[in-house]
Structure 1
Amino acid sequence: MRLNPDAPVYRAWAAAADLVLVNMLTLVACAPVVTAGASLVACTRSVMEMARDEGGSVARTWWRTFRSELKASLVWWPPFPALGALGVWERTVLSGSAASPTVGDALTALSAFGVLMLLAVLLWLLPLIALFDAPATQHLRNAARLALGRLGTTALCLVLVIAPVVLAALLPGAVGAVVWFLVILGIAFIAYLIALVQRRTIDELRRNARAAV
């Protein structure tokens, strides 16, 4: 029996296989933290093309984007893990050494808010870098504006990212399953869902960019 490439089941299996491949490439390239920025941009570009039924081989798209963005990512990416680590350190060290529980709770909330805002900016920065040609500083400003200006979309994207962490925290018995999900498919799958959520805004930005040329 021949499979129809246009059949929904075939397309679903093909998409799942593409996501597994993108996930594997992204994880491998994220292992050296310094190259993780380019890896995440490549993942974002690949899944955004999948969400729009654009492009061809996801592996070629991923590799082409990774190579083209690697050098530039060494400038804008390192502050993100550094600031994220600082936020975690503040939460664990400063809140524990606070003079009172109230102060400790306030420091914890402040650190958590800072990390969430950093993540929110990153979630918009990745598609901007993947699809638009502009200096990194301009992308950062635009990402910050989108993180606050499209608050509903930003909140939904944040929920998608932190959902596995929350699930593992609430259900300790599910930690193994969550880890395997992320290793096999999860990072690319979550990025794909985020691409669908952001699609309307990104398409609007692309139309505006074409009109301005």
Structure 2
Amino acid sequence: MNLFSINSPVMRFLERVFDIIVLNLMTLILCIPIVTAGAAMTALYKTLFDIRQEKGRTVIGFWQTFRAEFRPAMLLGILTLVATAAYGGYLFLLYPQLAAERGWAWITVAAIGALFFFPMTFIFPLFAKFENTVKKTIVNAFYMSIRHLPVTLIMLVMQAAWLVAMFLVPAQAPVILLAWFFFGIALPAYLGSGLFLRVFKQYAELE
């Protein structure tokens, strides 16, 4: 087999890497105006689902979803932003207790963090896959993030890996930031999209 023929494993791998880079840059740019972040994340997951299922084109599919789901996805994005800001404010208020290494403070922070961030892993993949109201999407995200806890934890680990890497190897922070610029959003989403499709298939069969 010719390694550089269009259907060879090497070319398919390079095509996938190119798709991930393009999607990462598009998502990153469209997340800069914070209010459009929800629509960008929804478009990212919808496009990745299409790539996994070998249908649709990357840039066109992303842009079509971004425009079609802009308003409701924008609302989801704003709600997740407000929740994140509220959690950040809570951490700020609780910092003296955390600095004093009080056990109850750390337990509270972990519990509330799970309440906020577990469903966030499912919100945009769910909205990209199923037609539903914003309220129903949030409720389903809470339910699925607990029922499919391994998927939730895997996604959180992949998304946090960049920060952990910079903390562990600060000397390589510029290299890690450069890698994040090209892969940081879309690569974890691509790796997780296969897990999400497997989860969602169970619910699609019930409809």
Distance in 2 (CA, whole Å) between partners of 1:143 and 1:183 is 28
Distance in 1 (CA, whole Å) between partners of 2:126 and 2:191 is 16
- Is 1:20 matched up with 2:18? no
For residue 107 of structure 1, the aligned residue among 105, 108, 120 is: 105
Matches within 5 A, 1:84-163: 84-96=84-96, 98=97, 101-103=100-102, 106-163=104-161
Give the RMSD, CA atoms, in angstroms: 2.1
Aligned to 2:185: 187
CA contact (8 A) 1:88 1:111 kept: no
Distance in 1 (CA, whole Å) between partners of 2:172 and 2:128 is 33
Distance in 1 (CA, whole Å) between partners of 2:160 and 2:201 is 25
In the TM superposition, what is the alpha-carbon distance from 1:202 to its structure 2 partner? 1.6
Gaps of 5+ in 2: none
**Residues 56-105 of structure 1, C-alpha deviations (whole Å, 9 max, x = no match):** 21101110111111111232221211221222232234322x498244x5
CA contact (8 A) 1:22 1:58 kept: yes
SS of 1:44's partner is helix
In the TM superposition, what is the alpha-carbon distance from 1:199 to its structure 2 partner? 2.5
Paired amino acid for 1:89: G
In the TM superposition, what is the alpha-carbon distance from 1:154 to its structure 2 partner? 1.2
Distance in 1 (CA, whole Å) between partners of 2:197 and 2:98 is 46
Q: Relative to structure 1, is the Cα distance of residues 100 and 19 closer, same or farther in structure 2, using a 3 angstrom cutoff? A: closer
Question: Identity over aligned residues, as a percent?
Answer: 22
Q: Relative to structure 1, is the Cα distance of residues 197 and 99 closer, same or farther in structure 2, using a 3 angstrom cutoff? A: closer
Distance in 2 (CA, whole Å) between partners of 1:2 and 1:95 is 56
Paired amino acid for 2:47: S
CA contact (8 A) 2:166 2:173 kept: yes
Give the structure-2-normalised TM-score: 0.90
In the TM superposition, what is the alpha-carbon distance from 1:120 to its structure 2 partner? 2.0
Give the structure-1-normalised TM-score: 0.88
- Is 1:11 matched up with 2:3? no
Aligned to 2:44: 43
Paired amino acid for 2:204: R
CA contact (8 A) 1:41 1:66 kept: yes
- Is 1:56 matched up with 2:56? yes
Q: Relative to structure 1, is the Cα distance of residues 109 and 165 closer, same or farther in structure 2, using a 3 angstrom cutoff? A: farther
**Residues 17-49 of structure 1, C-alpha deviations (whole Å, 9 max, x = no match):** 111111111011000011100000111111122
Distance in 2 (CA, whole Å) between partners of 1:182 and 1:112 is 26
Distance in 1 (CA, whole Å) between partners of 2:7 and 2:67 is 32
Paired residues in the alignment total: 206
Aligned to 1:65: 65
Q: Relative to structure 1, is the Cα distance of residues 125 and 100 closer, same or farther in structure 2, using a 3 angstrom cutoff? A: closer
SS of 1:14's partner is helix
Distance in 2 (CA, whole Å) between partners of 1:197 and 1:32 is 29
Q: Relative to structure 1, is the Cα distance of residues 65 and 71 closer, same or farther in structure 2, using a 3 angstrom cutoff? A: same
Distance in 2 (CA, whole Å) between partners of 1:19 and 1:162 is 18
Gaps of 5+ in 1: none
